């Protein structure tokens, strides 16, 4: 049975939380359900939290989450969601993947938020499915799961499998779920409780940079940043970006300095270096490959730029983060 049919029946959700998850992601799953129950004066959603061993887990912010039970004691329900963040495969083994495959037969839908999609994939639940993950990992996710049709969307629903990109897309998904089951008015009330007035569709692309009010204040700068985002591996010269926006290079320079206190060229370089740093800390990609993926024409040019920004060579930075346990 689809969990998205119009019904006032209670939806029973089980949420598996792994260590190093985001508190904001978990809150974005739970609080909309709590608010929907309060506003409707009903019990339309019941949820419980489980961890691998039934012990508390620590989120990335340092706050402990106390579970209601153990993962292996999970029986059945309507919606099973996995919340995970960093080092997801460190916290679940082959027995866990096997249990997930079994639970897929006992739940109406299975979902993964952030790197939870990776766990669904390793369990074989994303083969021949459309799916997404956090934008930082989309490229690697596609390389890892060749049988999965990877999308850059905020959230993807393919049959009984749901994948979500991050915290804000999780809130979008929960509003979609509430709207589907209980109607548009209640979903609007829930959004209003949290003063959430942005409108996002499932297939809106996840942005590399969240532009916020800049879209309204200066859409030309926003569009320039989106152009940069789409060409990190093959950088476009600033004059070509300006041409695409039908303005002069000088005008684009002035707009960036006025609104972002930097030049478009320097901003573009920082975007590429931010992506490079993510590859350095979160993957084992060779530095030469990272240089290519972030648009540097040589390893030496990449190393110089990286060191200028982070006061360390890429290799030394990776080693330092690894020793500190931050990757």
Backbone angles phi, psi at 69, to 5 degrees: -175, -170
pLDDT at position 217 is: 67
DSSP state of 126: T
Superfamily of domain 214-324: Homeodomain-like (1.10.10.60)
Q: How confident is the model over 302-321, as pLDDT tens digits? A: 999 999 999 999 999 998 87
CB distance 26 to 15 below 8 Å:
yes
Rounded CA separation 177/180 (Å): 5
Q: Which residues of the chain form CATH 1.10.10.60?
A: 214-324
For the chain, where do the domains classified as CATH 3.40.50.880 start and end? 11-193
Evaluated on CA atoms 184, 190, 191, 193, the torsion sign reads: positive
- Give the per-residue pLDDT at 198: 61
**pLDDT for residue 295:** 94
pLDDT score for 219: 84
Do the beta carbons of residue 136 and residue 167 sit within 8 Å? no
Angle between helices 249-260 and 219-229 (to 10 degrees): 100
Along the 327 residues of the chain, how does pLDDT read in single tens digits?
799 999 999 999 999 999 999 999 999 999 999 999 999 999 999 999 999 999 999 999 999 999 999 999 999 999 999 999 999 999 999 999 999 999 999 999 999 999 999 999 999 999 999 999 988 888 889 889 999 999 989 999 999 999 999 899 999 999 999 999 999 889 888 988 888 866 666 666 665 555 555 555 678 888 898 899 889 999 999 999 999 999 999 999 999 888 888 899 999 998 899 889 888 988 888 999 999 999 999 999 999 999 999 999 999 999 887 776 555
d(C-alpha 302, C-alpha 28), whole Å = 38
The pTM (predicted TM-score) of the whole model is 0.72
Which of 256, 292, 298, 258 shows the shortest CA–CA distance to 275?
A: 292
Where would I find the beta strands (DSSP E) of 123-201? 130-131, 149-150, 155-158, 161-164
| Whole-number Å distance between alpha carbons of 58 and 20 | 6
Rounded Cα distance, 112 and 121, in Å: 10
Q: How many angstroms separate the CA atoms of 147 and 44, rounded?
A: 36
- How confident is the model at residue 188, as a pLDDT? 86
pLDDT attached to residue 236? 93
Q: What is the pLDDT of residue 215?
A: 59
Please give the DSSP secondary-structure letter assigned to residue 7.
Answer: -
Do 195 and 205 touch, CB atoms closer than 8 A? Answer: no
In our burial notation (b when 16+ CB lie closer than 10 A, e otherwise), range 158-174 reads eebbbbbbbbbbbbbbb
Burial, 316: exposed, middle or buried (Cβ in 10 Å; 0-12, 13-18, 19+)?
middle
Candidates 3.40.50.880, 3.30.450.20, 3.40.50.920, 3.40.50.2300; correct CATH number of 11-193?
3.40.50.880
CB 144 within 8 A of CB 196: no
Q: Given this model, what pLDDT does residue 214 score?
A: 59
Phi then psi for residue 236, to 5 deg, are: -100, 140
Burial of 34: CB neighbours in 10 Å, binned 0-12, 13-18, 19+: middle
């Amino acid at each position: 049975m689809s969990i998205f049919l119009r019904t006032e029946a209670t939806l029973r959700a089980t949420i598996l939380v792994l260590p190093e998850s985001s508190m904001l992601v978990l809150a974005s799953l739970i609080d909309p359900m709590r608010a929907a129950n309060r506003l409707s004066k009903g019990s339309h959603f019941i949820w419980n939290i489980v961890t691998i061993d039934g012990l508390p887990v620590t989120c990335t912010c340092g706050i402990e989450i106390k579970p209601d039970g153990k993962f292996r004691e999970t029986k059945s329900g309507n919606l099973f969601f996995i919340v995970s963040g960093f080092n997801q495969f460190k916290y679940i083994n082959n027995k866990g993947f096997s249990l997930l495959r079994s639970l897929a037969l006992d739940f109406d839908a299975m979902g993964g938020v952030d790197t939870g999609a990776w766990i669904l994939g390793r369990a074989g639940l994303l083969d021949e499915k459309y799916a997404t993950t956090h934008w930082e990992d989309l490229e690697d996710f596609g390389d890892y799961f060749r049988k999965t049709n990877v999308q850059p969307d905020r959230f993807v629903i393919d049959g009984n499998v749901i994948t979500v990109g991050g915290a804000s897309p999780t809130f979008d998904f929960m509003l979609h779920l509430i709207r589907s089951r209980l109607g548009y008015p209640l979903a609007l009330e829930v959004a209003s409780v949290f003063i959430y007035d942005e409108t996002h569709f499932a297939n809106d692309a996840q942005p590399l940079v969240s532009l916020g009010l800049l879209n309204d204040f200066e859409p030309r700068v926003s569009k320039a940043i989106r152009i940069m985002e789409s060409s990190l591996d093959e950088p476009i010269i600033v004059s070509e970006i300006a041409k695409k926006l039908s303005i002069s290079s000088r005008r684009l320079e002035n707009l960036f300095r006025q609104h972002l206190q930097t030049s478009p060229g320097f901003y573009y370089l920082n975007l590429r270096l931010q992506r490079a740093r993510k590859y350095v800390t979160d993957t084992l990609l060779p530095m030469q490959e990272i240089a290519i993926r972030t648009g540097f024409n040589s390893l030496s040019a990449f190393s110089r730029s990286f060191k200028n920004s982070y006061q360390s060579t890429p290799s030394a930075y990776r080693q330092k983060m690894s020793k500190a346990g931050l990757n």
